A and B are shown apart, each in its own frame.
Chain A
């Protein structure tokens, strides 16, 4: 089974509007972290936002917010006031398990290509 599912291969949004990118996840581990990354055409992976499974509040970082619904296992990214520079691929990723002193790998979804239009 897919651990991270992004059902929207592509999305369009008008400049200055808000857009929600969907992400659902599957894990039996009670301790996990959810990430969103932006990948422009240059290929670099830009970290946007992080949500821990035990975090009580939804994460926010500037124009980015994460709509975390634990019971539904969803972690949707909301981008407010879209800008032309937001056009890129967006990946949701999960890290399972808390770790003490060692790092853990990320599992990525298939991504959503966002196109911001005038």
Chain B
């Protein structure tokens, strides 16, 4: 079964509103989680690294004020897309490694559509 759970799987929101996406590790503690974005027919691009108890590390070109990341506990990281616009429509997916040097488990992904 899934070891990383992501919700919601799909969300449609109006332009200007904010959307929160949750990523939970189900049976392990994840001090670090990763948030990726994937445009249609493209690869996954890392947006940010979520660190439990400290600030997230954002990749170059990712607006930290627009994509707020909170890693408040060892099993939960949230990504909030603030003041969403149609160009933010994309597939967002989180991942967490259960242990160092092992594969990263991915959540189911969230398909965001901003209308």
Contact = CB atoms under 8 A, between A and B. Distances in A.
Q: Tell which of B43, B49, B102 has the most Cβ of chain A within 10 Å.
A: B43
B18 interface: no
Contacts of B108: 42-44
Q: Tell which of A33, A47, A102, A103 has the most Cβ of chain B within 10 Å.
A: A103
Interface in A70-84: none
Nearest to B6: A44
A43 B97 contact: no
Contacts, number: 59
A95 to B, nearest CB: 8
Contact of B109 (A35, A43, A102, A111): A43
Q: Is the interface of B mostly helix, strand, loop or mixed?
A: strand
A75 B100 CA distance: 21
Interface size class of A (residues with CB under 8 A): 20 to 34
B103 A99 contact: no
Contact of A106 (B32, B34, B42): B34
A67 B32 CA distance: 30
A44 B49 contact: no
Given A43-B93, A102-B31, A103-B97, 6 more contacts: A35-B104, A47-B103, A102-B100, A103-B31, A106-B34, A106-B46
Closest 8 CB pairs of A and B: A45-B106, A103-B32, A43-B109, A47-B103, A103-B97, A108-B43, A108-B44, A110-B43
29 contacts: A33-B101, A35-B103, A42-B108, A43-B93, A43-B109, A44-B108, A44-B109, A45-B95, A45-B106, A47-B103, A47-B105, A47-B106, A91-B43, A99-B101, A100-B100, A101-B100, A102-B32, A102-B100, A103-B32, A103-B34, A103-B97, A105-B49, A106-B34, A106-B104, A107-B46, A108-B45, A110-B42, A110-B43, A111-B43
